[in-house]
Amino acid sequence: MDIIEQFSSALADRLAAAAPAVVALKAGSRPRSGILWRPGVVVTSEQVIGDQDTAVVVQGGTEVTAKLAGRDPTTNIAVFRLDAPLAGALPAQGAAPRPGSLAMVVGANPVGLPTGRLAMVHATGPAWHSMAGGRIDTLIRLDVRLGADEGGPVLDATGALLGMSTSGPRRRALVIPAATIARVVDPLLEHGHVARGWLGVGLQPVAIPDSLHASTGQSRGAMVLQLVTQAPAEQAGLLPGDILLTIDNFRFGQRRGLASLMGPDRIGKSVAVRLLRAGEIKEIGVVIAARPRS
């Protein structure tokens, strides 16, 4: 057997070994893939399930109904609880890959048999926050476009689990790391959502008057238009018309960053709000609360 045949055979073996951990998920407009995270729990990409709160999970021809236990758009993770457990075990969790290393995107066809797509790790990086503010433990970007395999497991060259595939901005294929999934699954199973921080304030971007650029150190801010009764911002003493300049290290006028201050780990902690009130700079401490569920 030459080296190409050995390589091909090794890939097929990796896919076969992962088969018990991948399922087809019939929820939304078309079948997608999911990961059998536990015998009675399936995780998938939150953005592909639409408004469905039930699904049919298929593993190797065996069908089981499932109910949506919870979803977190900030990390793009949805969790379904199965009506009956399925047999299978997750591959061992792999180390963070290097750019240029190979990965396998594993999906499932409509009868729950595994599909494979070979990818290269295009880029990696440290922990980052999604545009919705969810903390993703590691950046892993792949050089493929996803289809029905979105939501399935991604393996490294040894067959270890890197995480779950999902489509990011501009259809770039991303991996939600296994560590992120592990952190989110139990809160979703228990509460149906992941708590997010909240100040209870409605803001409107505004320009800082030219005469105040030097003292504030910035040209943009956010004016308080609305305060929710008894919410943290009102209780701390913010007033309509205040112009917020910074919250801790976040400076209003930046494209991103505020949502990352409102993660679940910040609930109950105080942030320093620097603001303009009647032309004077003030600083007020506000304790972040959990956002009420709508």
- 239 to each of 18, 201, 227, 245, 283, how far by Cα in Å? 56, 10, 8, 14, 13
- Looking only at the bridges linking them, the beta strands covering 161-167 and 173-177 are antiparallel
* Residue whose entry in the numeric block shows the structure tokens 């259809």: 171
pLDDT for the residue numbered 205: 92
Mean pLDDT of the chain: 92
Structure confidence at residue 130 (pLDDT): 87
Q: Count CB atoms within 10 A of the CB of residue 116.
A: 18
**pLDDT (0 to 100) of residue 266:** 87
pLDDT of residue 45: 96
Give CA–CA dist 238/145, Å, rounded.
47
pLDDT digits (tens, 9 = 90+) for 82-116: 999 999 889 999 999 999 999 999 999 999 999 99
pLDDT at site 105: 97
Range picked from 29-38, 98-107, 122-131 for highest mean pLDDT: 98-107
**How do residues 145-190 score in pLDDT, each as one tens digit?**
999 999 999 999 999 999 999 998 888 999 999 999 999 999 999 9
Asked if 163 contacts 41 with a C-beta cutoff of 8 angstroms, the reply is: no
For residue 254 the two structure tokens come to 């930046």
DSSP state of 88: -
